[in-house]
């Protein structure tokens, strides 16, 4: 079967750095997405990785290792507004998005 | 760019009635539109994939006669929940892809449905 694992919840301090991991087992791979979702709102796009390595975009970076079936989202200089759920999703061989359950990130002052 | 709207944002209806939710891509023509539902503290669950001018492809376990999807144009898809019941209460979200090559999905703001 297809499976995406990410921690259910993480807590971090304002101004710090946090890394949210995602491991996947899917039938084929055509890229991995990270989305941010605030409570009661729709997801918003953060990043897309299809090749191995680190993609940096401001305070957010995303890393991919296809051989390990592993990705992480790195958030630097955390702000209170970063409190949200972070969803990992993989595009499988049929170009269908397989969603993880999301990681709820709690930022404390 | 790549803005998707949904209407209504929230709706309360009585059991047995039908509710229509609209999803529009405002500034682009969407190759494909997707309909999701999401229960509290749960991940997105894909209900169906919709291409303009053709029948929607429903995921396993989703009743196509209950959740009617019409994709009338490249900018509009509608989801009709027929004969709604309280267990249909959920957050319904649509998304659209700009181009088949990118596969990035742009999400609408969601519709909160409560069936009493």
pLDDT, tens digit only, all 116 positions of chain B: 688 999 999 999 999 999 999 999 998 888 889 999 998 878 889 999 988 878 899 999 999 999 999 988 889 999 999 999 999 999 999 999 876 556 788 899 999 999 99
Q: What is the pLDDT of residues A55-109, one digit of tens each?
A: 999 999 999 999 999 999 999 999 999 999 999 999 888 878 889 999 999 999 9
Pairwise CB contact (< 8 Å): B104 & A45: yes
| CB half-sphere exposure, A103, CA atoms < 13 A | 24
A100 touches A108 (CB < 8 A): no
Residues in A touching B41 (Cβ below 8 Å): 104
Q: Which site among A8, A49, A97 would you substitute to test the B interface, given the most B Cβ atoms closer than 10 Å to its Cβ?
A: A97
Say if the Cβ atoms of B42 and A95 lie within 8 Å. no
Instruction: Provide CB contacts within 8 A for B114, sequence distance 6+.
Output: B10, B11, B12, B13, B89
Contact across the interface for B103 and A95, Cβ inside 8 Å? yes
């Amino acid at each position: 079967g297809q499976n995406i694992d990410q921690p259910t919840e993480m807590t971090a301090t304002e101004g710090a750095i946090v890394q949210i991991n995602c491991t996947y087992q899917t039938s084929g791979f055509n890229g991995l997405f990270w989305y941010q979702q605030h409570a009661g709102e729709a997801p918003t796009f953060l990043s897309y990785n299809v090749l191995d390595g680190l993609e940096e975009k401001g305070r957010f970076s995303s890393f991919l290792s296809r051989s390990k079936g592993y990705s992480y989202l790195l958030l630097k200089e955390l702000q209170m507004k970063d409190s949200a759920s972070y969803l990992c999703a993989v595009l499988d061989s049929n170009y269908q998005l397989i969603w993880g359950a999301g990681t709820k990130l709690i930022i404390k002052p | 760019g790549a803005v998707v709207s949904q209407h209504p944002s929230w709706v309360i209806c009585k059991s047995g009635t039908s509710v229509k939710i609209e999803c529009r891509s405002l500034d682009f023509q969407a190759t494909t539109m997707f309909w999701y539902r999401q229960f509290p503290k749960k991940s997105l669950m894909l209900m169906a994939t919709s291409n303009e001018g053709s029948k929607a492809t429903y995921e396993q376990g989703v009743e196509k006669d209950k959740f009617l999807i019409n994709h009338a144009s490249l900018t509009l898809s509608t989801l009709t929940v027929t004969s709604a019941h309280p267990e249909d209460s959920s957050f319904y979200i649509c998304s659209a892809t700009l181009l088949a090559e990118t596969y990035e999905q742009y999400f609408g703001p969601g519709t909160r449905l409560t069936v009493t």
